[in-house]
Chain A
Amino acid sequence: MQPFLDGTLSDAQVAEAQRHLERCNWCAKRYHFEERLRHYVRVAVTEPMPAELKAKLAALRTPLN
């Protein structure tokens, strides 16, 4: 299931996996859960950059003459 989620399977393997997911509710639920979990983790760990840090980085630029 992990290679399928990562998009590393061949076309034939993808087709086979999809056929299986259509028939098998047990796997389908776990597949959708994995997919949503990755998205959920990505969103959950997003934290805005502190404005002071942004200003510090901008100050590192080479001054224009």
Chain B
Amino acid sequence: MSESAPTAADTRKLAQQARDRVRFEEEALELSDQVYRMARRLAGSREEAEDLVQQTYERAFRAWRQYTPGTNLRAWLLRILTNLNIDRGRRQQRTPQTTSLDNEAADYFLYNKLESQVPDENPDEERVLERLSQDSIVDALADVPHDFRDVIVLVDIGEFAYADAAQILDIPIGTVMSRLHRGRRILKKNLADKAVPA
């Protein structure tokens, strides 16, 4: 077969590929708000998040053939993003001592502290929650160490299933669960320490 004279079949194949590619790019772009939202919480600053999202899309558009149509595109994009974030060497942050969080009481510490500040005798949960400002939640989440924050961002904010989060981060499901459990305690401790007046 001569290279200079593409057959009708070749031409059809190329046209199909071009259509697949356009569709892939459109679908990926439709998810960009969600990708940005998670990047914003995974990365340290807004600038970093914007860089990460841009690099993620550059890489995704180059590697589009590796995506299997019909699978979870959002998870596929997040996997690229978390890998890029790890490549930036951010893993160097050490996990702080959190031994005081190793018991069930830590789960309720925030609630108990907030409840004690509401003057009512028997306050409902909404009133208790209103004591937390939006900024304080953003700060408290930013102060959760990376390994734990990743799973909180994916599961509690991105609403990924444990299995998807495990695949995105390339860790076992059991690790996702234990980091989630501990990460939520750290988040609540941060909220209790910083967001609630003593």
Contacts and interface: CB of A to CB of B under 8 A. Distances in A.
B107 A1 contact: yes
Nearest to B157: A42
A47 B37 contact: yes
Interface string A27-65: 001101110111011101111111001101110111010
Interface string B89-114: 00000000000000000011011000
A10 interface: no
Interface in B17-58: 21-22, 25, 29, 32-33, 36-37, 40-41, 50, 53-54, 57-58
Interface in B51-87: 53-54, 57-58, 61
Contacts, number: 87
- Interface secondary structure of B, over-half rule: helix
Interface size class of A (residues with CB under 8 A): 20 to 34
Interface residues of B, number: 39
Query: Which 4 pairs show the lowest CB-CB distances between chains A and B?
Result: A44-B137, A49-B36, A33-B125, A44-B134
